[in-house]
Structure 1
Amino acid sequence: MTRDRDDRLAEAKAKDIGDIAQQLEICGLLPWPPRHGMESVGPCPKCGGRDRFSINQRDGVFNCRRCEGRGDVISLVRFVRDCSMPAAIDWLIGPEAEISEIERNARRKASDENRRRNEDRADRERQREIKAAGALWREVAKNDHSALRGYLDARGITADLLPEIPAVLRYHPALPYMVRAERGFREVHRGPAMLAVVQQPSGRGIGCHRTWFDPASPQGKIALRDPETDADLPRKKMRGSKRGAAIRLHTPDHDWHQLVMGEGIETTLTAMCAGMWPEAAFWAGIDLGNISGRRQSGKGLKYAGLPDLADAEAFIPPPWVRELILIEDGDSDPRDTRAKLQAGARRAMAKIPGLRACIVACPPGRDLNDLLQEGGIDHVE
């Protein structure tokens, strides 16, 4: 790639994804237009899936959970316009033409300034989110956790198996559930929730994970719907940042070399109660994307499980971990789940010399906590 093409690529990448979304006339997202520090969510312009498509203004990325479209501003143009990368760059910054060195330097300077401005703005928003997550965590520093114990009991994680609730978990008796509106947010639910502090490997808390539950439900799970749109809502949400972080449910006081990681809190607690890894640390990975990090993309690579090692935000275990054990849920898309876990495992092995990693699979249609509630966890591979 020539230096001029490098400059064009950098100039295109520096474009503001919110501005480009408006130029592409993507409709139905809230808030609209996309605003810095907020994620706009709505129907996908390609597959039409309701509330499956999002544009993260802070991080400059988009994602569709149904048709697997994701990436930066160039990828967004390619996704919506169904065009090649060169055509997308031409659409963003104009066709390649002979320009003077003075004009080339001016464009390079403007691109660098735009990129720095976006990065500074994103960092300010991230710090505000981290501060808000800390305030939420401190809001319930002293309260009765008996309702949280009831939720864990309903998930089969009884006091016999888990005598003490990890200090990283807290109970909120009436946590508001907010969704985006034309102007700001609106409340669609308020009720009991489990909070979990999200920590970087250094121990610094940077986020608060929230799980709403229904104490009257047999398994504690709650079905949430938006009364205005009738859309299903996830019962788990993040506040703050999860960059390179995890929910550290248990870390041994002594020297430890095994790290067991499941996608969710309940799965990881179940693995912890199983007794198969008595000397290990148990950290929940928050979601598959966080465990996986960014993957290599391109023709034939969707399920290859190859990590993009240039991803500076992906989770990497601490350097003293010698064995990483990833728990694979069997109740989600098997190929996609396996590919994401493979990417996380391969990244860890590439970044930490001598580390070994393996994936423990559950039967199709089940996760580890399902097996516990059904009477045993002896069906893992």
Structure 2
Amino acid sequence: MSLPRELEALKLDALAVTCWSWANFKGWKLGPGADKAGPCPNCGGTDRFAIHTTKNTFNCRRCGISGHGVIDLVMATENVKFVRACELITGRTVADPISAEEAARIHQEAERRERERAAEEEKRRLRAINEGKSVWNRSSLPMPAGRGGVADYLALRGIAVKLDKVLLREVPALPYVTEVTGADGRKTYPTLHTGPAMVAAVVLPDGSFGAVHQTWIDLGQPNGKVVLFHPSKTEADGSPQTMPAKKVRGSKKGGAIKLYTPKSVRRIVMGEGIETTLTMLRHNFEPGTAYWAGVDLGNMAGKAYRDFDNKRQEDEPDLDDWDCFVPPDWCEELVFLCDSDEAETKTVEKLTRGLKRALAARLAKRTLDPSLPSLDVNFVNPLGDGKDLNDLVRVSL
């Protein structure tokens, strides 16, 4: 549904302002670097809130406000709805008249900014893909059990599989590098750890390499993954910020980690992570089934629909967004594995909208090509109590 001319122009004018520009206007005290951290305008603290100037996003680790673009930011921090947020940003109201010529100028300027943004994003995407390829090209088939690599990691997780049947590889000594921004704004890239890592390729819908998924292994930890802390950042309670044991480098949108795909296949079972998906492969294997990992919830769910007040409807897909995973045409059944039922993660709602999008995509394609198979979708409910599917099989180890 298109917006009235005055509101559309107001929105486009507002989007010309970046999150960082708004933060400066409001006088928020944020640190240097691309990921500018500081007190949250909603809940305070010291560095729990951050604006990423390159991505034009914001996030607070404590109160959970997050989003993309200045309108989301103003709605979250001023507690106002969409129209009022646009008015605050632009300094004019939706009732102010605007000529067709001025509306056209604003629209053309927005299109120019979007072209520039898209071109810069494509440069970053290609650079990241090449960096991911360099890691993938260093990898090799996993070593036999007893060498402290992928085979031992999967055994520890209760999901030992035939490694010649799944698309997993390893790097015996992979550096874990992070970005640190000093008080002067200068960036350094220290290596926090070097050790064995499980790696997997994220394959894009056209079959090309998109990204490398990396999991650093430490068999001395209960879950087999390395535990690292950021050199300077802290959690909301002041403790050192824990670094993720997994990283993705490259372009993952729309792709999948195709762990196992048989020749005769009609169904896809997909978990967010490798371990969840392998749990089903190892303990509930079904013939004619591909076991793929979706990389992350955002890639499996896609963007959420926003209503007239720009409020997100978490379980409804934005059907203008197809930059996420959609099953291939041969798939007749798609099964999503839900790991979490925690309210703050909205995992159930996100996976629901991913399934709804998949159904909508197939329906649209079948109107053009009735020979395509119909699509059934299914959902494996979360276990609850903060447990995931892999926890279920590990309790007996």
The TM tier, using the shorter chain, reads 0.7 to 0.9
Query: Is 1:247 matched up with 2:251?
Result: no
1:363 to 353, 377, 383: 383
1:153 to 152, 155, 171: 155
2:218 to 199, 214, 220: 214
CA distance in 2, matches of 1:276, 1:291: 22
| Identity over aligned pairs, percent | 31
**Residue 396 of structure 2: aligned partner:** 375
CA distance in 2, matches of 1:269, 1:125: 31
**C-alpha contact (below 8 Å) 1:199/1:245 kept by paired residues:** yes
Query: Is 1:285 matched up with 2:284?
Result: no
2:10 to 8, 21, 25: 8
1:85 to 82, 85, 95: 82
**Residue 139 of structure 1: aligned partner:** 138
Further displaced range: 144-153 or 123-132: 144-153
Q: Post-superposition shift, 1:322? A: 1.0
**C-alpha contact (below 8 Å) 1:324/1:357 kept by paired residues:** yes
**AA aligned opposite 1:311:** D
Q: Post-superposition shift, 1:4? A: 3.1
**C-alpha contact (below 8 Å) 1:53/1:64 kept by paired residues:** yes
Residue by residue over 1:300-320, the C-alpha shift from the partner in whole angstroms, topping out at 9 and shown as x without a partner, is 986751122222312111121
Query: Is 1:344 matched up with 2:354?
Result: yes
**AA aligned opposite 2:189:** R
Further displaced range: 276-285 or 79-88: 79-88
Residue by residue over 1:354-374, the C-alpha shift from the partner in whole angstroms, topping out at 9 and shown as x without a partner, is 211111124223211111212
Q: Post-superposition shift, 1:15? A: 3.5
SS at match of 1:91: helix
CA distance in 1, matches of 2:114, 2:310: 31
**Residue 181 of structure 1: aligned partner:** 181
What does residue range 190-201 of structure 1 map to in structure 2 within 5 Å? 190-192=193-195, 193-201=197-205
**AA aligned opposite 2:203:** Q
**Residue 237 of structure 2: aligned partner:** none
SS at match of 2:316: coil
Query: Is 1:318 matched up with 2:328?
Result: yes
**AA aligned opposite 2:201:** V
Q: Post-superposition shift, 1:127? A: 1.7
SS at match of 2:254: coil
Query: Is 1:47 matched up with 2:43?
Result: yes
CA distance in 2, matches of 1:302, 1:117: 27
CA distance in 2, matches of 1:236, 1:265: 11
Residue by residue over 1:171-202, the C-alpha shift from the partner in whole angstroms, topping out at 9 and shown as x without a partner, is 34132231332322432621322222111122
CA distance in 1, matches of 2:284, 2:340: 21
CA distance in 1, matches of 2:251, 2:270: 19
Q: TM-score, normalised by structure 1?
A: 0.84
Further displaced range: 293-302 or 236-245: 293-302
CA distance in 2, matches of 1:318, 1:57: 35
Residue by residue over 1:129-165, the C-alpha shift from the partner in whole angstroms, topping out at 9 and shown as x without a partner, is 122211222233578574121211211122xx43536
**Residue 116 of structure 2: aligned partner:** 117
**AA aligned opposite 1:276:** F
Further displaced range: 367-376 or 40-49: 40-49
**AA aligned opposite 2:42:** K
SS at match of 2:58: strand
**C-alpha contact (below 8 Å) 2:141/2:168 kept by paired residues:** no
**Residue 371 of structure 2: aligned partner:** none
CA distance in 2, matches of 1:251, 1:291: 18
**Residue 226 of structure 1: aligned partner:** 230
**C-alpha contact (below 8 Å) 1:58/1:125 kept by paired residues:** no
CA distance in 2, matches of 1:169, 1:45: 44
**Residue 369 of structure 2: aligned partner:** none
**C-alpha contact (below 8 Å) 1:29/1:41 kept by paired residues:** yes
Relative to structure 1, the CA distance from residue 42 to residue 148 in structure 2 (aligned partners, 3 Å threshold; closer, same or farther) is: farther
CA distance in 2, matches of 1:185, 1:219: 30
SS at match of 1:253: coil
Relative to structure 1, the CA distance from residue 334 to residue 227 in structure 2 (aligned partners, 3 Å threshold; closer, same or farther) is: closer
Further displaced range: 215-224 or 18-27: 18-27
Instruction: Compute the RMSD of aligned alpha carbons.
Output: 3.0
CA distance in 2, matches of 1:286, 1:124: 22
Unaligned 5+ residue runs, structure 2?
A: 234-239, 364-373
CA distance in 1, matches of 2:101, 2:340: 58
Q: TM-score, normalised by structure 2?
A: 0.81
Residue by residue over 1:199-245, the C-alpha shift from the partner in whole angstroms, topping out at 9 and shown as x without a partner, is 11222111122212213234312322124331122222221221111
Unaligned 5+ residue runs, structure 1?
A: 377-381
**AA aligned opposite 1:277:** E
Question: Structure 1 or 2: larger strand share?
Answer: 2
1:19 to 15, 18, 21: 21
**C-alpha contact (below 8 Å) 1:59/1:122 kept by paired residues:** no
Q: Post-superposition shift, 1:49? A: 6.9
**AA aligned opposite 2:339:** D
